[in-house]
Amino acid sequence: MSKDIRLRKGADLNLVGRAEKKINEKSKSDLFAIQPDDFFALTPKLIVKEGEEISKGSPIFYDKKNPSINFVSPVSGIIRSVNRGAKRKIESIIIEDHGEREIVHDLSKDLNRENVVELLTNSGCWPFIRQRPYNIIADPKDVPKSILISCFTSAPLDVDFDFILKNNKNDFQSGINIIEKLTDSKVILTVANNSDSFFKNIKNVEIIQVSGPHPSANPSVQIQKISPINMGEKVWVIRPEDVVNIGLFFKTGVYQAQRTIALAGSSLKKPQYFKTKIGAQIKPLIKIAGLKSKSQIRCINGDVLSGSITTNDGFIGFYNNLLSIIPEGNKYRMFGWLPFVDNSILSLSRTSLSWLFSKKGFEIDTNLNGEERAIVVTGEMEKVFPMDIYPMQLLKVCMTGDIEKMEAFGIYEVVPEDFGLIDYANTSKIEAQEIISDAIELMIKEAG
Amino acid sequence: MNFLRKKLDEIKRPFIKGEKWAKFAPAINAFDTFLFVPNHTTQKGSHIRDGVDLKRTMVTVIIALLPALFYGIYNTGFQYLSQVGTDFTFMDAFIHGSFKIIPMIIVSYVVGLTIEFAFAIYRGHEVNEGYLVTGMLVPMIMPVDIPLWMVAVSVAFAVIIAKEAFGGTGMNILNPALTARAFAFFAYPTYMSGNKVWVSEASMVDGVSGETILGSLASGEQVSYSMLEMFSGSIPGSIAETSTLWILVGAFILIATGVGSWRIMTGGVLGASIMGLLFNLWGANPLMTFSWMNHLIVGGFAFGIVFMATDPVSAAQTQKGKWIYGILVGVFCIMIRVFNPAYPEGVMLAILLMNVFAPTIDHYVYNSNVIKRKKRWESAQIKTA
């Protein structure tokens, strides 16, 4: 265990509304959705039509750039609608759940790398594997430098993978045994320091312990400490529950979309865990957890720092284990900008006394707490960014769109979620994640 | 509060996008957001945001400036009344100072904010809060008897040339407040140096005069003030720079709240001390023998290093850069004081000089990161080849 990672920079935001460690398996969703926006920079090519009957595991669309990668239905049923936005962009494909039909893949072949890749891409399991740089779905033609699975979380209110997967230990191990074939080097598992999680007993992997505040669980941060990504290199990342899904697929031959979701946040009466499937409706879950008041809420697919907005009528995203529900903050505060005023609002800056209340936890809303301004304060971004990169300088070169400089300052090593805390903490309310996301899109377009 | 809010929303209606006065929205928004933190919610990126914003940061700096300002107001009265020779109380001195200094603050804010508002409307962006601090700093670093119109012209020059010409708040190379002072210093030298400008009414009333300590030293005279007087600040000088004691209180506020960089401040003190010590050891002329400790507490050094050098926009932006920048400000400050009697006080020029070089310092710090990344890539290429 000589390679332990210790991080100092960053911040743990103590919010109230953590999910109680009890898994509710009774929730029922009539509708399921596949949302192409869950996959960064993907152009979907639709295969099905509205009204068509499909089975669990039926391809719904494929990736235009990589036609071998199928995106499949998590349930059997009927395509109820295909919702399109501006320029006929597909926003979601809604599936009505009924019936028990499923597509069974033939697992009798020799499970060498070639056949494993073919099975994963055909079955719809491949999108579970994403690559760094860019955080896009991995290219099946690549062989990655390494594969990293971050088995803990550090974002506010995020889930405990050890808890939600403790009954899937064997499936996780069999998933690892498959994934291992995809790389020439070892699969790396990162676990929280001082935890006795079952992940530490997983075989055929290299285990690295990580300690430190958020974003210590972000793969980018860990990869940079273990072996940074150079231009042209690729590292693949998979979320722990998707390793289980891959393991289950190779047990049953059927695409599995198991998803254990933590419904958390200060707006909920009983924040708790739910066992459901990818793309399930959010509404039934919120109904069970109960809302504290009738005031407006924000539903977030993911954590409060880097998740994406959805609504009460929305669906669980492809890569999420967390649904955060917090109050909207569309209210005015008189003279709220004065230092040491409104200390109930969590602040990392010492111009507020909020640190006195940090043990109790904060009820946080979506108010911007100010307006966007020019970048003035320096050093605050670096404090919450534990990578060997100058975040403000990288943001500046990303804003100018200078690709060579973006490369030089480390664009290959970051993804938008790493800038979540910078979004949060910066005085000027700069939209750092958007800047990075736009920059990565530009990189994909220009540099490939 | 609700009533006020409704009233404000009513007033703001013609300023909404597409309405008649939409162009002037930044101006009305500046007043509105002064009263209320707006109801804006996050639309993209992180869904939650820190309680801190630029207004809070800038107001913290103003709070840190207040002790020095109040002492400056008192000291203005004290210097005058103690020379006139009448009995006076603390309040008498404070009132005399207030009559002198508050008009300067008003002129500085009115002129500067008018220009800022005009640019915000012209460019269609919100009014940045940066000027709240600049507007306070400008009168604090001027001699007390400078005519108000000179304050106005200096402020206008600083805001237009040093700030807006470069793109406004966050883009300027030079510290705007120091640029205003430098402008006045070179444009109206008779009002900015000599022994008739540092004490209130000195040019009007016979028998009232006062040279700054550094000024006396530069012209080869003896200094008649004790170290305690230098530290407490009951000496002639620019309005709010004399009291090291109250400036230290401000420094404490800035460091405790994390708004001011302790690296720059420590670096500056370090640089000035080392330079002062070296000159003490050399000791070739009376200026060089002036104790290094006294160098830290006389003149504008303390004020400059605490409030001016730490301006995050014009200072170096990296941690390493801040150390280098701070140390060099200190070094150059003492060097200018000792080597150049035409400029008895070196801190203004030292900071402006380092403002110019701050981006260069940062460039080399950034570049070391870039080179590291490139080397890593190169060695990876060799391995795979």
Q: What is the pLDDT of residue A109?
A: 87
Are B216 and B288 part of one and the same domain?
Answer: yes
* Residues A272, A244 share a domain: no
> Is the predicted pLDDT of residue A178 greater than 90, yes or no?
yes
In this structure, is residue A368 part of a structural domain? no
**In chain B, where do the E strands start and end?**
36-37
A44 with A155, same domain?
Answer: yes
Is the model's pLDDT at A416 over the cut of 80?
yes
Residue with the larger pLDDT of the pair A2 and B168: B168
Residue after which a domain boundary falls, among A193, A221, A252: A252
Considering chain B, what is the average pLDDT of its residues? 91
Interface of A with B in 216-255 (CB under 8 A): 228, 230-231, 233
CA atoms within 13 A on the CB side of B135: 21
Q: Is residue B46 part of a domain?
A: no
Residue B104 lies in a domain: yes
Query: Does residue B382 lie within any of the structural domains?
Result: no
B60 and B23, same domain (yes or no)? no
pLDDT at A130: 96
Distance from chain centroid for Cα A391:
21
Question: Cβ B51–A345 below 8 Å, yes or no?
Answer: yes
- Amino acid symbol at B4: L
CB pairs under 8 A between A and B: 216
Task: For residues A133 and A187, state if they share a domain.
Answer: yes
Q: Same domain, yes or no, for A385 and A329?
A: no
- A166 with A64, same domain? yes
- The pLDDT of residue A241 is 96
Nearest CA-CA partner of B276 in B264, B290, B266: B290
Are B99 and B16 in a shared domain? no
**Neighbouring C-alpha atoms within 13 Å toward the C-beta of A330:** 6
CATH label of the domain that carries residue B152: 1.10.3430
Are the CB atoms for A337 and B56 separated by under 8 Å? Answer: yes
pLDDT, position A202: 93
Assigned domain for A92 exists? yes
Structural contact between residues B154 and B196, judged by C-beta atoms closer than 8 angstroms: no
Residue B14: give the domain boundaries.
2-35
Identify whether residues A64 and A164 lie together within a single domain: yes
Q: Which of A340, A356, A391 is the last residue of a domain?
A: A340
Q: Please report whether residue B305 resides in a domain.
A: yes
Number of domains in chain A: 3
Above pLDDT 70, what percent of chain A?
100
Phi, psi of B20, rounded to the nearest 5 degrees: -60, -45
Question: What is d(CA A334, CA A341) in angstroms, rounded to the nearest whole number?
Answer: 10
Asked which of A188-202, B12-26, B170-184 is least confident by mean pLDDT, the reply is: B12-26
Determine, yes or no, domain membership for B235: yes
Mean pLDDT to the nearest integer, A11-17: 93
Considering only alpha carbons, which residue of chain B is nearest residue A331?
B39
The answer to whether residues B11 and B75 belong to one domain is no
Query: Going by DSSP bridges, is the β-strand pair A5-6/A205-211 parallel, antiparallel, or unpaired?
Result: parallel
Q: A260, A159 in Cβ contact below 8 A?
A: yes
Other residues' Cβ atoms within 10 Å of the Cβ of residue A84: 12
Evaluate whether residue A245 is within a structural domain: yes
Determine the residue among B5, B31, B37 to mutate to test chain A binding: the one whose Cβ has the most chain A Cβ atoms within 10 Å: B37
A385 band by pLDDT with thresholds 50, 70 and 90: very high
Calpha distance B302→B308 (Å, rounded): 10
Could you tell me if B137 and B23 lie in one domain? no
The answer to whether B129 touches B60, Cβ cutoff 8 Å, is: no
> Does residue B207 register a pLDDT over 80?
no
pLDDT, averaged across chain A:
93
pLDDT surpasses 60 at A2:
no
Q: Say yes or no to pLDDT of A271 above 60.
A: yes
DSSP state letter for A291: B
Cβ-Cβ contacts under 8 Å, B40 against chain A = 330, 367-368, 371
Is there a domain that residue A358 lies in? no
- Could you tell me the pLDDT band of residue A274, with boundaries at 50, 70 and 90? very high
Residues B46 and A306 sit within 8 Å (Cβ to Cβ): yes
Residues of A in contact with B168 (CB under 8 A): 374
User: For position B288, what pLDDT does the model report?
Assistant: 85
Which residues lie closer than 8 Å to B225 by C-beta, 6 or more apart? B213, B235
- Please indicate whether, in this complex, the C-beta atoms of A367 and B372 are within 8 angstroms of each other: no
User: Rounded distance, CA B46 to CA A425, Å?
Assistant: 10
B19 pLDDT exceeds 60? Answer: yes
Q: What is the distance between the alpha carbons of residues A406 and A394, in angstroms, rounded to a whole number?
A: 6
Q: Look at residue B195 in the predicted model and tell me its pLDDT.
A: 79
**Per residue in A86-118, pLDDT tens?**
999 999 999 999 888 999 999 988 889 999 999
Minimum mean pLDDT range among A219-233, A260-274, B85-99, B193-207: B193-207
Q: What is the pLDDT of residue A1?
A: 44
Do B180 and B255 reside in the same domain of the chain?
yes
Co-location of B91 and B218 in the same domain: yes
Q: Are A122 and A62 in contact (CB under 8 A)?
A: no
Tell me, yes or no, whether A244 and A275 share the same domain.
no
B371 contact A CB<8A: no
Q: Does B129 touch chain A (CB under 8 A)?
A: yes
- Say if residue B242 is in the same domain as residue B287: yes
Does A151 lie in the same domain as A31? Answer: yes
Take residue A430 and report the two structure tokens written for it: 């700069």
Number of independent structural domains in chain B: 2
Q: Is A259 helix (H, G, I), strand (E, B) or coil?
A: strand
Collapsing DSSP to helix, strand or coil, A306 comes out as coil
Same domain, A119 and A142: yes
User: Do both B30 and B108 map to the same domain?
Assistant: no
Mean pLDDT of A183-189: 92
Cα separation, B252 vs A115, whole angstroms = 66
The verdict on residue B218 lying in a domain is yes
Band of residue B243 on the pLDDT scale cut at 50, 70, 90: very high
Write the pLDDT tens digit of every residue in B266-277.
999 999 999 999
Which residue, among A351, A400, A428, A431, would best test binding to B if mutated, counting the most B CBs under 10 Å from its CB?
A: A351
A117 and A25, same domain (yes or no): yes
Q: What is the pLDDT of residue B256?
A: 95
Do B30 and B69 share a structural domain?
no
Tell me, yes or no, whether A375 lies in a domain: no
* CA-to-CA dists, residue B133 to A7, B64, B150, B153, angstroms: 36, 10, 19, 18
Based on the fold, state whether residues A384 and A235 are members of the same structural domain.
Answer: no
A408 vs B: CB within 8 A:
yes
Q: List the beta bridge partners of residue A50.
A: none
Higher pLDDT, A257 or B342: A257
Give residue A437's domain range: 380-446
Instruction: Give the per-residue pLDDT at B339.
Output: 87
| pLDDT of B173 higher than 90 | yes
pLDDT tens, residue by residue, B291-320 = 899 999 988 999 999 999 999 999 999 999
Give the integer Cα–Cα distance in Å for A63 and A69.
6
Domain contains B181: yes
Query: Has residue A49 been placed in a domain?
Result: yes
Q: Which two tokens stand for residue A325?
A: 């529900």
Which pLDDT tens digit goes with each residue over B319-370?
Answer: 999 999 999 999 999 999 988 877 878 899 999 999 999 999 999 999 999 9
Residue B87 has a pLDDT of: 86
Q: What is the pLDDT of residue B70?
A: 96
**Window A:39-78, CB contacts with B under 8 Å:** none
Of A364, A376, A382, the CB nearest to B170: A376
* Domain match, B27 and B166 both: no
Residue A331 lies in a domain: yes
A329-360 pLDDT per residue, tens: 999 998 989 999 888 899 999 999 988 888 88
Q: Check whether A61 has a pLDDT greater than 90.
A: yes
- Whether A322 and A408 map to the same domain: the answer is no
Residues constituting chain B: 385
Judged against a pLDDT cut of 90, whether residue B202 lies above it is answered with no
Give the least confident one: A254-268, B46-60, B138-152, B331-345: B331-345
pLDDT: which is higher, B16 or B315: B315
* Residue at B42 is within a domain: no
Please check whether residue A315 is in contact with residue A287, taking contact to mean a CB–CB distance below 8 angstroms. Answer: no
CB contact (8 A) between residue B45 and residue A434: yes
User: A434 lies in a domain?
Assistant: yes
Does A330 lie at the interface with B, CB-CB under 8 angstroms?
A: yes
Note whether B231 and B304 are same-domain residues.
Answer: yes
Residue B285: predicted pLDDT = 78
Coil, strand or helix at B241:
coil
